[in-house]
Chain A
Amino acid sequence: AQSVTQLDSHVSVSEGTPVLLRCNYSSSYSPSLFWYVQHPNKGLQLLLKYTSAATLVKGINGFEAEFKKSETSFHLTKPSAHMSDAAEYFCVVSEPNYGGSQGNLIFGKGTKLSVKP
């Protein structure tokens, strides 16, 4: 069965310092993995996705994530935080579509990122 664990419910960093948001997953198959960002009272926006191509994935706004199968991790990083990065971030896993069915999306509980000036 699929599951996603975001290891921190809240991360606080200073502007200009690195960001690390941690995500571990379990999956019976070779999964697709996604990171989404949500600003207050808004929908979710896709930051980046892993779909079995390169293990280091670059996304929008300077974010990137590395898929590590041996560690079942997909941590999100950014070298230098900006005030506009303050938001909630969700790690999502989806298993392959077998038999013509669409896979369900399993969400982590989210990590709230605060950025201090």
Chain B
Amino acid sequence: DGGITQSPKYLFRKEGQNVTLSCEQNLNHDAMYWYRQDPGQGLRLIYYSQIVNDFQKGDIAEGYSVSREKKESFPLTVTSAQKNPTAFYLCASSTRTGTGRTEAFFGQGTRLTVV
């Protein structure tokens, strides 16, 4: 089945550690996104990538890094510079529809907790 897979589902990190969240898609989508979700704040864009080997910062990129070496994969690293990393992280991918507009597909999310 085609889809977008995030792993792990739950992740615990000690303060000062870097952690990497995985996102893989087999939908052949060009664009991929990372969002952070906090209670009452909706989804905020961290990074997005439109093509391989290219990515742009979103609204809250500080303390995060990404890579896009393969079309299928868009891992997110939460660095020690991120002061409040505890959140629910969602990965998405998108494609053009018949009229040229994007429709996004989402992974099931990773809940990161700093202990």
Contact = CB atoms under 8 A, between A and B. Distances in A.
B102 interface: yes
B42 A105 contact: no
B106 A44 contact: yes
29 contacts: A9-B40, A32-B99, A32-B101, A32-B102, A42-B109, A43-B90, A43-B106, A45-B106, A46-B103, A46-B104, A46-B105, A49-B97, A52-B99, A53-B99, A90-B42, A94-B101, A95-B101, A97-B100, A97-B102, A101-B50, A102-B30, A102-B31, A102-B50, A102-B94, A104-B45, A104-B48, A105-B92, A107-B35, A109-B42
Interface in B18-44: 30-31, 33, 35, 40-43
Interface residues of A, number: 30
Interface of B is mostly: strand
B42 A102 contact: no
Interface in B78-115: 88, 90, 92, 94, 96-109, 111
A105 B48 CA distance: 10
Interface string A67-80: 00000000000000
A60 to B, nearest CB: 14
A96 interface: yes
A103 interface: yes
Interface in A88-116: 90, 92, 94-97, 101-105, 107-110
Contacts of A31: 101
A25 interface: no
A46 B50 CA distance: 21
Nearest to A105: B104
A108 B42 contact: yes
A96 B101 CA distance: 5
A34 interface: yes
Contact of A51 (B99, B104, B107): B99
B109 A41 contact: yes
A53 B96 CA distance: 15
A94 B102 contact: yes
